[in-house]
Amino acid sequence: MEELLQLLTETCPGIDFAGSEALIDDEILDSLDIVTIVSAIMDTYGVTISVDDLVPENFNSVAAMLALIQRLQA
Amino acid sequence: MRQVVDYPALSAAISACMRPGMLTNCTLSGEELRREMAAGTLYAHPWAGGLLLFRRREGFWRMYYYINDPGCPPDLPWPSQVVTEIVRRPRDTAAAADLWQAWGFVRESTRIRMQRPGSETGEALPPPEAVDAEEAMDLLQRCFDPRTGCLPDLEELAANCAGGRVLTRRDEGGRLIALLRAAPYRKGWELRHLAADPGHRGEGLAGSLAAEFTRRFGEKGSVVWVREDYAAPRHIYEKNGFCPDGWTAAVLIRKDD
Give the Cα separation of B64 and B66 in Å (integer): 7
- Do residues B35 and B69 both lie within one domain? yes
Q: How would you classify the pairing of strands B222-227 and B105-116?
A: antiparallel
Answer yes or no: do B65 and B167 share one domain.
no
Are residues B155 and B88 part of one domain? no
Residue B43 within a domain: yes
Instruction: Please enumerate residues of B whose Cβ is less than 8 A from a Cβ of A.
Output: 10-12, 14-15, 18-22, 24, 26-30, 33, 87, 89, 91-92, 186-187
Written as one string, the DSSP assignment of chain A is -HHHHHHHHHHSTT--STT-S-TTTTTSS-HHHHHHHHHHHHHHH-----GGG-SGGGTSSHHHHHHHHHHHH-
Contact list, A50 vs chain B (CB under 8 Å): 11-12, 14-15, 30
Mutate which: A39, A45, A51, A58, vs B, most B CBs within 10 A: A51
Chain B nearest-CA residue for A25: B186
Provide the 8-state DSSP code for B47.
E
- pLDDT tens per residue, range A11-67: 998 889 988 889 988 888 988 889 899 999 999 999 999 999 998 899 999 999 999
State the pLDDT at residue A66: 96
**Shortest Cα distance from B11 to chain A (angstroms)?**
6
Assess whether B78 and B148 both reside in one domain: no
CB count in 10 Å sphere of residue B171? 14
Q: Measuring CA to CA, how many Å separate B254 from each of B48, B56, B187, B248?
A: 20, 15, 35, 19
Q: What is the pLDDT of residue B257?
A: 65
Q: Which residue of A has its CA nearest to B9?
A: A50
Length of chain A: 74
pLDDT tens across the length of chain B (257 residues): 999 999 999 999 999 999 988 999 998 999 999 999 999 999 999 999 999 999 999 999 999 999 999 999 999 999 999 999 999 988 887 689 999 999 999 999 999 999 999 998 767 789 999 999 999 999 999 999 999 999 999 999 999 999 999 999 999 999 999 999 999 998 899 999 999 999 999 999 999 999 999 999 999 999 999 999 999 999 999 999 999 999 999 999 998 76
> What CATH number should be reported for the domain holding residue B225?
3.40.630.30
Look at residue A31 in the predicted model and tell me its pLDDT.
Answer: 85
Work out the burial of residue B111: count CB atoms within 10 Å of its CB; fewer than 13 is exposed, 13-18 middle, 19 or more buried: buried
Q: Which amino acid is at B186?
A: R
Q: What is the pLDDT of residue B122?
A: 60
Distances (CA, A) of B182 to A68, B59, B131, B217, B224: 34, 26, 14, 9, 9
Residues B240 and B138 sit within 8 Å (Cβ to Cβ): no
Same domain (yes/no): B160, B58? no
Predicted confidence at residue A43, as pLDDT, reads 93
Residues of A in contact with B30 (CB under 8 A): 50-52, 54
CB atoms near residue B55 (< 10 Å): 18
Confidence (pLDDT) at A53: 93
Architecture of the A2-73 domain: Orthogonal Bundle (1.10)
Residues in chain B with CB shorter than 8 Å from the CB of A51 are 10-11, 14-15, 28-30, 33
Question: Which residue range(s) make up the domain with B193?
Answer: 133-248
Nearest residue on chain B to A29, judged by CA atoms?
A: B186
Q: B203 and B162, same structural domain?
A: yes
The verdict on B137 and B244 lying in the same domain is yes
Say if residue B100 is in the same domain as residue B139: no
- What is the sign of the dihedral through the CA atoms of A31, A33, A36 and A39? negative
Cβ contacts of A54 on chain B, cutoff 8 Å: 29-30
Question: Is B221 within the bounds of a domain?
Answer: yes
Looking at B78, B111, B144, which one is the last position of a domain?
Answer: B111
Residue B117 lies in a domain: no
What is the number of other CB atoms lying within 10 angstroms of the CB of residue B223? 18
A49–B18 C-beta distance less than 8 A: yes
Work out how many domains chain B is built from and give that number: 2
Residue B255 lies in a domain: no
Contact between A27 and B186 using a beta-carbon 8 Å cutoff: yes
Cβ-based contacts of A58 with chain B (< 8 Å): none
- Tell me, yes or no, whether B118 lies in a domain: no
Beta bridge partners of B176: B170
Instruction: Determine the Cα–Cα distance for residues A56 and A24; give it in Å rounded to an integer.
Output: 6
Minimum CA–CA partner of B16 in chain A:
A48
Q: Report the SS3 class of residue B244.
A: strand
**CB contact at 8 A, B36 and A60:** no
Residues from A contacting B (CB-CB < 8 Å) are 14, 25, 27, 30-32, 35, 38-40, 42-43, 48-52, 54-55
The answer to whether B240 and B213 are in contact (CB under 8 A) is yes
**Are the beta carbons of B20 and A43 separated by less than 8 Å?**
yes
For B23-54, b where at least 16 C-beta lie within 10 A, e where not — what string? bbbbebebeebbebbeeebbbbbbeebbbbbb
CA–chain centroid gap for A74, Å, is: 18
Phi-psi region at B227: left, alpha or beta (left = phi > 0; alpha = psi -120 to 50): beta
d(Cα A26, Cα B188) in Å, to the nearest integer?
Answer: 11
Residue A32 with chain B: CB contacts under 8 Å: 24, 27, 87, 89, 92
